[in-house]
Copies of this chain bind each other. A is one copy, B any other.
Amino acid sequence: MAAKKLYESFSRELIEEVHRWGSMKQTGVSLKYMMEFGSKPTPRNLLISSQFLHKELPMRIARRVIDLQTLPYGLSLKPAVLKVRDWYLDSFRDLRSFPDIKDENDELEFTKMINLVKVRHNNVVPMMALGVQQLKKDLHPKIDYKDLDEIHQFLDRFYMSRIGIRMLIGQHVALHDPNPPPDCVGYIHTKMSPLEVARDASEDARSICLREYGSAPKVNIYGDPNFTFPYVPTHLHLMVFELVKNSLRAVEERFVDSDKVAPPVRIIVADGLEDVTIKISDEGGGIPRSGLPKIFTYLYSTARNPLDEHSDLDTIDLATVSTLAGYEYGLPISRLYARYFGGDLQIISMEGYGTDAYLHLSRLGDSQEPLP
């Protein structure tokens, strides 16, 4: 069971180290840099990269430990949040106790270790969501979600930081692949076709819709089939999947009792000089202007969480948790993914008609990671 107090499980020295490393200045990396550096994954470069991560990861992880300790409204003391804090502390300790990386062997061991760290943290999002649910139960019902702005801001910083940590670790691990797919540098596809990713994500979203409703509106996708640019396909897939899923649902719900044919969802992929913009438009009836701010909050989400109050937090199996695709943190986290590489996600709605989502992806790739 997660220890309530930090010092019950962890030594005073460790706590001091956490505070020391949590104050150090983080170093951001751009997609362009990751791509150029990773294009030559020589043993020497992998050594340099691992030495960078050996210093950088503890800084980022320590900051999150400190954040987790100082949440408002008693969120820090919720069992699920304490569990997450313990994951971060264990990872911090693993990194700090790893000796200096001097040769290829050290580097391989280090890479294995950070991959395990990544795996340890696989379920952070549903676990934090459970903590937030535990908090909601305790809160006075009259508290408006808007008042909990501090918590929203914390979660934005926390999840953005997590995206960065997992990108750095995942990229480093992937560079060790002896047979990488063509045109790929780790997680980055140097010639990614946004049209193709949008098609795949739409098909996945339509499958889910078909399963839930027995039918799924068509999705029409327009854009240059030959256009490519460097990006991380899994990130884009996640975002498009989320947006199309929301659009399909809205249209299904609107036309469920209607004789009319459900109008298709339309996706437009536009390539400019600065940005690649993907617009996902539906005629699902829209969202009132007053309701729009809520869609990006974490506390608002109403979907059921597979982790509930009665789950034994220590024995959650990965299979259960992996069905969390779409448990409704999708929009705020999609926006974080968009912003991670210098892009953005905007949602505009026409009440009574439908909603348009605009995904802006920076084409230049020279935006430094946000470092909250």
Residues of A that sit less than 8 Å from B by CB = 268, 270-275, 277, 279, 286, 288-290, 344, 346, 348-354, 356, 358, 360
Most buried by B among A274, A289, A358: A289
* Assembled-state Cα–Cα distance A272/B289 (Å): 10
CA gap between A298 and B104 in the complex, in Å: 60
- Contact partner, A274, options B270, B288, B348, Cβ 8 Å: B288
A351 near B274: Cβ-Cβ < 8 Å: yes
CB distance from A32 to the nearest CB of B (A): 17
Report the Cα distance A270→B284, complex, angstroms: 12
Query: Shortest Cβ distance from A356 into chain B, in angstroms?
Result: 7
Is B350 a contact partner of A279 (Cβ separation < 8 A)?
yes
User: By the criterion CB–CB under 8 Å, are B350 and A289 in contact?
Assistant: no
Q: Select A272's contact among B268, B279, B344, B352, beta carbons within 8 Å.
A: B352
Establish whether residues B270 and A351, one from each chain, have CB atoms under 8 Å apart when the complex forms: yes
A271 CA to B348 CA in the complex, in Å?
Answer: 15
Q: Judge whether B270 and A289 touch: CB under 8 Å.
A: no
| Identical subunits present | 2
State whether B288 touches A352 (Cβ < 8 A).
no
What residues on B are CB-neighbors of A353 within 8 Å? Answer: 268, 270, 272, 277
Q: In the complex, are the beta carbons of A274 and B290 less than 8 A apart? A: yes
Q: Is the CB of A351 within 8 A of B289?
A: no
Contact A289 B360 (CB under 8 A): yes
The answer to whether A350 and B268 have CB atoms under 8 Å apart is: yes
Q: Are A272 and B286 in contact (CB under 8 A)?
A: yes
Complex Cα spacing A344 to B292, Å? 14
Assess whether A275 is in contact with B351, with CB atoms less than 8 Å apart.
yes
Q: For residue A349, which residues in chain B have a CB less than 8 angstroms away from its CB?
A: 277
User: Chain B residues near A360 (CB, 8 Å)?
Assistant: 289
Least CB distance, A181 to chain B, in whole angstroms:
28
Instruction: Determine whether the beta carbon of B351 is less than 8 Å from that of A348.
Output: no
A270 with B348: CB separation less than 8 A: no
> Which residues on B sit within 8 Å (CB–CB) of A344?
289
Interface centre among A273, A275, A350, A351 (most CB of B within 10 A): A350
Query: 10 A–B contact pairs at CB < 8 A?
Result: A268-B350, A270-B353, A272-B288, A272-B351, A272-B352, A273-B288, A277-B286, A277-B349, A277-B353, A289-B360
- Given the complex of chains A and B, what is the CA–CA distance between A225 and B370 in angstroms? 48
Report the minimum CB–CB distance from A281 to chain B (whole Å): 9
Interface contact A270-B350, CB-CB below 8 Å: yes
Enumerate chain B residues within 8 angstroms of A288, measured Cβ to Cβ.
272-275
Smallest CB-CB separation from A347: which chain B residue? B348
Chain B's nearest CB lies how many Å from the CB of A101? 40
Q: Would you give the shortest CB distance from A82 to chain B, in whole angstroms?
A: 41
CB nearest neighbor in B for A356: B356
**Across-interface contacts of A273 in B (CB, < 8 A):** 288, 351-352
* A277 CA to B289 CA, complexed, in Å: 10
